[in-house]
Structure 1
Amino acid sequence: MMRTGSGLIDAEYAFTRARRASRRAALARALHLGSVERRLAVYCSSGRPRRAGQHGLREIPLAAIAGTLEPTRAAQFDGAFRPVTRSARRRWERIWLAEDHGTILPPISVVPVGEHSFAVVDGHHRVSVAHARGAVAIDATVDAR
């Protein structure tokens, strides 16, 4: 993405671009054009076995984040963590600006949902912004719940 020199303009442009990509994916899905991301998967937090050695603070690949535990957040982001609604805009842009200014953001909170995948408990907007910025990994607190 080309930078303008104004963090606010860059944040607005990045959000608009991510939201437009989400709408294009939804349109392609509606027209059955190839494989596109679906809605953000929602996982249930109960009934999963606890696994020793997988909890704590660590860096996880963004590609390993497969969904969320919160149904309300699933309505705000698509399967690729692109914003779907305008309601996500203000917070999304604030997180973009914070990263742009070099602020260290708290780690997201995730739970394992498969052998190598995770569901987000807290930090949906941070994941979305990290995807939009082209990050490969993100700091996360892995909870074995």
Structure 2
Amino acid sequence: MFPTGNTHMDAQRAFDKASRAQRRSAIVNRLRRQCAECLRLQVHDTTFRAVRHASGVKEIPLEEISATVEPARARQFDADFRPSGKRTRARWERLWVAEQRGEVIPPISVVRTHAGYAVIDGHHRVSVAKSRGAITIDAVVSAA
């Protein structure tokens, strides 16, 4: 995707591209007769409110983020953190524009799980970072 010079238009195009990729993946999944649950963002069941230990900010690989602790967010993003609806569009585009301008984005909050990390706060930031091709993201990691 070539930048147009208009960051808001570029953000809209980036969201549309990510949203189309999510829909395309769902269609391919149905045609292959694979389980619908395979594409959904997994919900990590934890009582993360009683966190025992929180480390400082560190970089974690985006590919290791595989779940969320909020069931409502699991409906807004697929397993690859692609946005699945218009409800996420405004915030997603604002974050994309902020990142394009080089603004400081706060770190996400995650909890360590047996399969990687589950997002507590920062679902849109993860989605934008993945769509922009980032490899790592700043995060505050908590132990479950």
TM norm. shorter chain > 0.5: yes
Aligned to 1:41: 42
Per-residue deviation, 1:29: 0.8
Cα deviations by residue, 1:65-116 (Å, 9 ceiling, x for unpaired): 01100000000000000000110000000000000111011000000011x6
> Equivalents in 2 of 1:55, 1:99: separation in Å?
25
Aligned to 1:140: 139
> Equivalents in 2 of 1:8, 1:46: separation in Å?
38
Question: CA separation of 1:60/1:35 partners in 2, compared to 1, >3 Å: closer, same or farther?
Answer: farther
Q: Which has the higher helix share?
A: 2
Identity %: 49
Residues 56 and 143, structure 1, Cα contact 8 Å, conserved in 2: no
Per-residue deviation, 1:33: 7.0
Unaligned 5+ segments in structure 2 are none
Relative to the length of structure 1, the TM-score reads: 0.90
Aligned to 2:124: 125
The letter of the residue matching 2:81 is: F
Unaligned 5+ segments in structure 1 are none
- Residue 10 of structure 1 pairs with residue 10 of structure 2: yes
Instruction: Detail structure 1 runs of 4+ shifted over 2 Å in the superposition.
Output: 33-37
- Residue 100 of structure 1 pairs with residue 69 of structure 2: no
Per-residue deviation, 1:57: 1.3
Aligned to 2:58: 58
Relative to the length of structure 2, the TM-score reads: 0.90
| 1:70-109 correspondence to structure 2 within 5 Å | 70-109=70-109
> Equivalents in 2 of 1:144, 1:56: separation in Å?
12
Give the CA RMSD over aligned residues.
Answer: 2.2
